[in-house]
Amino acid sequence: MSEDALVWLSILAMAVATWITRVSGFWLMGLVPEGGFVRRALNHLPGALVVSILAPIVLDGGWAAAVAIAVAVAILRAGITAMFALFGALAAVALIRLVV
């Protein structure tokens, strides 16, 4: 089998595995009762994912990254869109690097 065919076969296998994972997830969640612990856990899942993504950035980026994330969170809490929160965080990092 040629190398190109192996690449395409691998891509197809990953696509099928992804599809099976998504379909089985919907099927399994259909078996779980809605409400109580499951509802509370699913409501907190987006925040937990964001923290798990941002924690290594803060640890590697130092206090400038922590300030930028704090600025972004403050902007989002004020009800302003995520795009402005991103710009605010970038401006905070740029200002910190300019001053320090």
pLDDT attached to residue 80: 85
* % of residues, the chain, pLDDT over 70: 100
Whether 67 shows a pLDDT value over 80: the answer reads yes
Cβ distance 90 to 75 under 8 Å?
no
* % of residues, the chain, pLDDT over 90: 18
Cβ distance 79 to 54 under 8 Å?
no
Give the residue with greater pLDDT, 40 vs 13.
13
Contacts with 42 (C-beta within 8 Å, 6 or more apart), sequence order:
none
Mean pLDDT of 66-92: 87
- Computed over every residue of the chain, the mean pLDDT equals 85
Give the C-alpha separation, 100 to 97, whole Å. Answer: 5
